[in-house]
Structure 1
Amino acid sequence: MTVDMSQFFQVFFEETEELLAEMERLLLAIDVAQPEPEDLNAIFRAAHSIKGGAGTFGITDLTEVTHVLETLLDRIRKGEMALTGEHVDAFLAAKDILKMQLDGHRHGAAVDQEQVVAMRATLQSLAQQGSARVPAPPGAVAPLNAAPAAAAGRHCYRIELPALPERDIKALAGELGLLGTISESRLPDGRGVFVLDTEDSAESIVAICSFIMEPSELKITTEAAASVEDAQRYGVFEPLPAPARSAEDAQGYGFFEPLQSAIAQKEAENAQGYGFFEPLQTSIGQTEQENAQGYGFFAPFVPNGGTQPAAAGASKHGDAPDKAAVEADPVAEHATTAAARKPAPRRDADKPAVAHNEASTSIRVGIEKVDQLINLVGELVITQAMIEQRVDSLDPMLHERLLNSVSQLTRNTRDLQEAVMSIRMMPMDYVFSRFPRMVRDLAGKLGKKVEFVTHGAATELDKGLIERIVDPLTHLVRNSIDHGIEMPEVRAAAGKSETGRLSLSAAHQGGNIIIEVSDDGGGLNRSRILDKARQQGLPVSDAMPDAEVWQMIFAPGFSTAETVTDVSGRGVGMDVVKRNIEAMGGLVEIRSLRGFGTTISISLPLTLAILDGMSIKVGPEIYILPLAYVVESLQPRALDIKEISGSGRVIKVRGDYLPLIPLYQMFGIDSACTEPSEGIVVILESDGRKAALFVDELVGQQQVVVKNLESNYRKVAGISGATILGDGGVSLIVDVAALLRSSRQLNDESIYTE
């Protein structure tokens, strides 16, 4: 039966990206002087898993790079070479090449083959250096079943395969061909046979073949070059027979050591049955031991319906994967991806295999399915609101049971809504993990020393906001390294540590998440910012508070950099940062102290799918104001309303004059009242500026499900979305930030002075 492997490609792509990210994380955190053996093993395992999965799917360009990378990593983890900073740089660059190749296969992106060839040459050059063996790192344990280092000269192995599909045989031939010169032939029963001439040890052959089959299914024999110990390493192959040996002794049925005497031969026949019969039961203890060990080849006998325990041989030698897990999962039985069939670890230093039931704690679900579920729950919330509004007019004495049921439905709907919304929430570590590499590379390029730390990586944010916050944070981090943190000699002269500190933190605060980018650099230069602002014709004064001066850096084209580099200096980006954050309903604040550093704080709502809003009425229409922008509401006195020629009206609130924005004029609605003293004024605040919105009346406060108006109708100026009310009517959500920006009064500074 053939299996369509294309269905597993997506799993391979996703797991390969995760492995590359994990490899980069480990490389950035590794101590070059005294690397932890487990870290080196984990990096090697990641490269090996990528290589095995790519070979299974026939993605040869990935296997060619990972093979050379794996060879170099293997020499380092075995202590044959000392890890250096040059190695780490090469491994990180190789990760970038592998990511580029992966994107080429996954998304059809361009792949620079010259860079690929150059990277392979670099890794090969590094692998050929430092042949002298170095002492093993402290705490390193010699791995079990580790094949001896390849002796001078070449080995010639005959590899006899079990019955396999033609596709798997070709995949193995391509993978093993990377180790040396390979030739292929067939046995009379159709099984494949390879003859491999290579400098690699037999361990490498078993490691590659274990992605396709059980190691016990292999029969490997050696010719001339290999030593007896090398040939017998796994118990699945042996040296070619010497003439003096008997045929039975020489062949050993492919599994057993040559018998030493007639008595020993008889005992072995009784105990082992030449690999065909159950062993004789001499004692209960002996039977249990043989079943547990299986001679390194056979799984323990389990009656039908029983639960198969993990083979002791798998935990000791790591040669037998968990067949119970494979048999229980039809996908794992056929899929030969790195995800479905990873070889069990073969070394003590490797991490222990995780039980099947412990590993299956999460599933992959397409984001479109999650969005559909959220939309359906949103519709349920709307329907529940309609029911609740209908039963409000019923007599509570006559319809007590119905009203209690509606109350229970309301509670359950709210719980369901919160649970479903949490599915879209992702930890901030998804964003934070992108920056250690960038900080390392950029600091090295600028000749600076930077320590990067994160706090609150487990804090969760909506997936839609997570994806949109990456670019603004990237720009802020780059600015902190380029403009904030000083050169080592400058810091030393100022009495600071030569290594600057850059931190990225996230925390929940009410219904928002606060993300901060902080550095302990030189801080913002107030006088330079004011001078630059005057040169660009911006309205500034020396009496301006610091908070307003700092906001100047978000002006389009504003930059105080004296030179333009490929990192920054053109004044392009900070205005985009602020605009993008405000488009997500967020705010940006800056705190800075000269000589001590700068902190840029971003406040974002936890999700854009649901918001707390205030319902207001203007004429026959009901609108929703996001509660995050609402400061207060009041009914003004007529004497507090002032008319300014050519600039509309303002309202005096506690000694401050605020521009008055009549919503009915902005949207062209016939209002029930045109005098502010007859209606209600809602004080709004956005981007540090306040304004008064004149409406007819307040309806109430409620949580609304946001619907995208642009995709369902068209873009409407001053409107950010829509929602469905309890009576089934559609209500528009006011874009407060855009409304205040479009108000002409806010552009006239004279209205703020009496």
Structure 2
Amino acid sequence: MTIDISQFFQVFFDEAEELLAEMERLLLAVDLDNPDPEDLNAVFRTAHSVKGGASTFGVTDMTEVTHILETLLDRIRKGEMALTTEHVDAFLAAKDILKMQLDGHRLGSAVDQDAVADVGMMLQSLTAHAPVAALAPMAPGFNAPEAKVVDHSGGRRYRLELPVMVHREVTALGAELGLMGHVAITPLDHDRNAMVVTTHESLDDIIAICSFVLDPEQMVVTELPPLDAARAELESAERAKTEAELGYGFFDEIELLPPPQVGGVGYGFFQPIEQIRSTAEAGADDNRGYGFFEPIEQIRAAAGIVAEAAPAAVAAHVEEHEKKPAKGEKAAVAAGAEAGSIRVSIEKVDQLINLVGELVITQAMIEQRVDTLDPMKHERLLNSVSQLTRNTRDLQEAVMSIRMMPMDFVFSRFPRMVRDLAAKLGKKVDFITNGAATELDKGLIERIVDPLTHLVRNSIDHGIEMPEVRRAGGKSDAGRLFLSASHQGGNIIIEVSDDGGGLNRERILAKAAQNGLPLAENMSDADVWQLIFAPGFSTAEVVTDVSGRGVGMDVVKRNITAMGGVVDIRSAKGFGTTISISLPLTLAILDGMSIRVGEEVYILPLGFVIESLQPAPEDVKEISGKGTVVKVRGEYLPLIPLYQMFDITPRFADPSEGIVVIIETDGRKAGLFIDDLVGQQQVVVKNLESNYRKVAGISGATILGDGGVSLILDVAALIRSSRQLADETIFS
């Protein structure tokens, strides 16, 4: 019999990555002057959870780092030492190392062992005066601190009668519990053991530790009478003797760590996952199960703790533990959220969305067929179709919401980057986010990360001034960087704002002239700001590894436009700059207006439409060599005859006989001349480029209710072409 444990490893990888991200978030938010005890406990729990999972799966390199890390965190949360910036820097460095090690196991990427050793020694130096009971065996090159006798007199004593377990599991559990107090292991019959734990910690904490390696329901817990002073002193002496002989409690660094293998995997001093897998398969016939992999399912299935043979006092304590929330309101909320969610691969979600899209198309076909029926003769059928339409719309909205993710998925990446970059540039920056719960389609969230990263780096490098410059300008030393997200209609608005020096109009115009960019007299500020999106444009005097090469802003604009978005800049010299990005909530389904030109039907995205009208003949003017314009409320707008764009024979060649739809994007307006308006509907967007090829002026395609294919217009490309219709069209 064999077991596929790859699914369990994937769960460990995913949960460890989430825990490391949570650790970083907590560390960046902690108040050094007055740290919240609950935040310190939360950081400790994340480190301990990562360590417990790594220990369970034999990922001992991560176990070693987290062991020292949680020792230091434990001293800080207990008030034995004050939290400093040096501690936070070390913890963040340890988090980076753990992420690198995690990627090494999951992706097979390289692990810098020198960096691992450096962080280990950094943590060791900060833990120079920690009790020896709190230290794990170190990797080669680490120096152990001097041993000290720890006094556990006056603590509570618990007897833990363990189920059948392999020796290494008992040893590992004893080592974990040894961090909390004194542990004595007594062998029982049938390969069972009992542990007597003397500790000042709660029973909850002991059971939480045990749950990493066994099912708490299989363990019998009994509270023993406390030791008298003489026995406590003897026990402390025995513990000191044991630690002196073994090194660090229950850890024997020679026997427990596998010997280095020449040319093998595992980075030298820890046990590779492949070796663990082979061990698990080799031991599949063992009547004790699958080593330490069996308890994983039991642990996840265990909802509470039952001590059948425990005395009434302990049983009551366990019952109380089950009823009360887990260590604070935050933990309770997190636990509830975890219990109410499942992990589903994105491929399954995409497949579901595609099927619902096809259902929407089929429903539209049925609705179009029944429109020709007599409502009196087919009343019941029409009512059923109406109900189907409502249900389909509700199902579509529910399924689309599955792909929606909070912007916090993006925002959480920036606090660390802002902190490190500000320190590198010698600046002080307060990073403020708003609207992190605002949701956006997962596909767009993944594509918006890089543009936002560039904008944030630009704000810190170019926008926010040095502290002495800010003081001279009457500002605070620390600049403020805002990142916000909000919904407006069918779009999401993401803004990156700073209170720095703002954009320099004269410098931008001078650089644009130097680069040969076309400039007009009396350009508005909005038009000047758009010049920074030109390829190769940069006003930086010095090229650094942060910015200054003129590569980036044009890519930002191109990526945002490719997502159907718009970038807008507002700036005031001396007061700061705001860059606003408007994106559709999803690219999978959009509200569109069906328009007709000749015999063809096109879809015009509704988000770009302002109004539609039939102009009077005197409102349409021909400008020699510049095309046609239409007058709308005193404003002349370029007129775009759609039939000329796609070489179609129209019904009307005179705009006063057809319909003009006013569209707007990138702050520019134009009139789109068409034959007729067909209607308004939701359409499922199909990628035309992957199924056919890229077509200029077309952003996608959809299937109509009659089964025909309709092309979706690219409004931004149409407006860009409005100045070149006569001779230099971009569609040639």
Normalising by structure 2, we get a TM-score of 0.76
Correspondence for 1:213: 214
Does the 8 A contact of 2:535 with 2:551 survive in 1? yes
Relative to structure 1, the CA distance from residue 160 to residue 509 in structure 2 (aligned partners, 3 Å threshold; closer, same or farther) is: closer
Correspondence for 2:90: 90
Q: 1:524 aligns with which of 474, 496, 503?
A: 503
Does the 8 A contact of 2:640 with 2:718 survive in 1? no
Equivalent positions of 1:226-305 (< 5 A) are 228-229=231-232, 298=309
Correspondence for 2:30: 30
The code of the aligned residue for 1:413 comes to T
Using the alignment, how far apart are the partners of 1:409 and 1:310 within structure 2? 57
TM-superposed deviation, 1:88: 0.3
Correspondence for 2:55: 55
The code of the aligned residue for 1:57 comes to F
Using the alignment, how far apart are the partners of 2:560 and 2:438 within structure 1? 18
Correspondence for 1:70: 70
Correspondence for 2:401: 422
Matched, 1:702 2:681: yes
Relative to structure 1, the CA distance from residue 214 to residue 411 in structure 2 (aligned partners, 3 Å threshold; closer, same or farther) is: closer
Does the 8 A contact of 1:56 with 1:171 survive in 2? no
Is the deviation greater in 540-549 or in 655-664? 655-664
The code of the aligned residue for 1:406 comes to V
Relative to structure 1, the CA distance from residue 687 to residue 748 in structure 2 (aligned partners, 3 Å threshold; closer, same or farther) is: farther
Using the alignment, how far apart are the partners of 1:58 and 1:351 within structure 2? 30
Is the deviation greater in 699-708 or in 76-85? 76-85
Does the 8 A contact of 1:586 with 1:602 survive in 2? yes
Correspondence for 1:144: none
Q: Deviations over 1:714-735 (max 9, x none)?
A: 3333322111111111111122
Correspondence for 2:602: 623
Using the alignment, how far apart are the partners of 2:681 and 2:233 within structure 1? 74
TM-superposed deviation, 1:620: 2.6
Does the 8 A contact of 1:651 with 1:659 survive in 2? yes
Structure 1 gaps of 5+ residues are: 133-148, 195-201, 220-225, 241-291, 302-308, 325-343, 750-754
Using the alignment, how far apart are the partners of 1:527 and 1:678 within structure 2? 47
Relative to structure 1, the CA distance from residue 355 to residue 77 in structure 2 (aligned partners, 3 Å threshold; closer, same or farther) is: closer
TM-superposed deviation, 1:682: 3.1
Is the deviation greater in 350-359 or in 367-376? 350-359
Equivalent positions of 1:411-450 (< 5 A) are 411-450=390-429
Does the 8 A contact of 2:627 with 2:726 survive in 1? no
Structure 1 counterpart SS, 2:395: helix
TM-superposed deviation, 1:666: 3.0
- From the CA coordinates, give the structure whose radius of gyration is larger: 1
Correspondence for 2:562: 583
Using the alignment, how far apart are the partners of 1:188 and 1:411 within structure 2? 67
Q: Deviations over 1:245-299 (max 9, x none)?
A: xxxxxxxxxxxxxxxxxxxxxxxxxxxxxxxxxxxxxxxxxxxxxxx999x8835
Using the alignment, how far apart are the partners of 2:659 and 2:84 within structure 1? 70
Correspondence for 1:546: 525
TM-superposed deviation, 1:576: 0.8
Structure 2 counterpart SS, 1:11: helix
Q: 2:470 aligns with which of 464, 487, 491?
A: 491
Does the 8 A contact of 2:620 with 2:629 survive in 1? yes
Does the 8 A contact of 1:682 with 1:694 survive in 2? yes
Using the alignment, how far apart are the partners of 1:293 and 1:740 within structure 2? 67
Does the 8 A contact of 1:162 with 1:218 survive in 2? no
Using the alignment, how far apart are the partners of 2:711 and 2:585 within structure 1? 21
Using the alignment, how far apart are the partners of 1:80 and 1:660 within structure 2? 74
Matched, 1:569 2:569: no
Relative to structure 1, the CA distance from residue 434 to residue 503 in structure 2 (aligned partners, 3 Å threshold; closer, same or farther) is: same
Correspondence for 2:438: 459
Using the alignment, how far apart are the partners of 2:168 and 2:552 within structure 1? 51
Structure 2 counterpart SS, 1:517: strand
TM-superposed deviation, 1:36: 2.1
The code of the aligned residue for 1:25 comes to R
Relative to structure 1, the CA distance from residue 409 to residue 597 in structure 2 (aligned partners, 3 Å threshold; closer, same or farther) is: same
TM-superposed deviation, 1:603: 1.0
Does the 8 A contact of 2:688 with 2:701 survive in 1? yes
TM-superposed deviation, 1:656: 5.1
The code of the aligned residue for 1:41 comes to N
Relative to structure 1, the CA distance from residue 396 to residue 449 in structure 2 (aligned partners, 3 Å threshold; closer, same or farther) is: same
Using the alignment, how far apart are the partners of 1:627 and 1:310 within structure 2? 65
Correspondence for 1:80: 80
Correspondence for 1:151: 149
Using the alignment, how far apart are the partners of 1:507 and 1:351 within structure 2? 25
Does the 8 A contact of 2:160 with 2:220 survive in 1? no
Equivalent positions of 1:9-408 (< 5 A) are 9-128=9-128, 151=149, 162-164=163-165, 189-190=190-191, 210-213=211-214, 216=219, 228-229=231-232, 298=309, 311-314=315-318, 360-408=339-387
Relative to structure 1, the CA distance from residue 105 to residue 218 in structure 2 (aligned partners, 3 Å threshold; closer, same or farther) is: farther
Structure 2 counterpart SS, 1:27: helix
Does the 8 A contact of 2:642 with 2:673 survive in 1? yes
Normalising by structure 1, we get a TM-score of 0.74
Using the alignment, how far apart are the partners of 2:166 and 2:725 within structure 1? 74
The code of the aligned residue for 2:25 comes to R
The code of the aligned residue for 1:79 comes to G
Structure 2 counterpart SS, 1:104: helix
Q: Deviations over 1:653-696 (max 9, x none)?
A: 55655444443343344444555455433333332333343333
Using the alignment, how far apart are the partners of 2:311 and 2:597 within structure 1? 78
Using the alignment, how far apart are the partners of 2:337 and 2:436 within structure 1? 24
Relative to structure 1, the CA distance from residue 350 to residue 597 in structure 2 (aligned partners, 3 Å threshold; closer, same or farther) is: closer
Does the 8 A contact of 2:165 with 2:191 survive in 1? no
Q: 2:572 aligns with which of 593, 612, 617?
A: 593
Using the alignment, how far apart are the partners of 1:596 and 1:382 within structure 2? 51
Q: 1:475 aligns with which of 454, 457, 467?
A: 454
Does the 8 A contact of 1:547 with 1:591 survive in 2? yes
TM-superposed deviation, 1:66: 1.0
Relative to structure 1, the CA distance from residue 727 to residue 475 in structure 2 (aligned partners, 3 Å threshold; closer, same or farther) is: same
Does the 8 A contact of 1:517 with 1:601 survive in 2? yes
Relative to structure 1, the CA distance from residue 162 to residue 416 in structure 2 (aligned partners, 3 Å threshold; closer, same or farther) is: closer
Correspondence for 1:258: none
Using the alignment, how far apart are the partners of 1:685 and 1:484 within structure 2? 29
Does the 8 A contact of 2:611 with 2:661 survive in 1? yes
Identity of aligned residues (%): 73
Matched, 1:735 2:726: no
TM-superposed deviation, 1:409: 1.8
TM-superposed deviation, 1:649: 4.8
Relative to structure 1, the CA distance from residue 227 to residue 580 in structure 2 (aligned partners, 3 Å threshold; closer, same or farther) is: farther
The code of the aligned residue for 1:468 comes to R
TM-superposed deviation, 1:738: 2.9
Using the alignment, how far apart are the partners of 1:573 and 1:99 within structure 2? 28
Correspondence for 2:279: none
Structure 2 counterpart SS, 1:723: strand
Using the alignment, how far apart are the partners of 1:508 and 1:356 within structure 2? 29
Does the 8 A contact of 2:630 with 2:637 survive in 1? yes
Relative to structure 1, the CA distance from residue 81 to residue 398 in structure 2 (aligned partners, 3 Å threshold; closer, same or farther) is: same
The code of the aligned residue for 1:102 comes to L
Q: Deviations over 1:379-405 (max 9, x none)?
A: 221121111111111122222222222
Using the alignment, how far apart are the partners of 1:2 and 1:228 within structure 2? 49
TM-superposed deviation, 1:531: 1.2
Aligned residues: 635
TM-superposed deviation, 1:637: 5.5
Q: Deviations over 1:91-135 (max 9, x none)?
A: 011111111211222223332222112111211122115899xxx
TM-superposed deviation, 1:503: 1.0
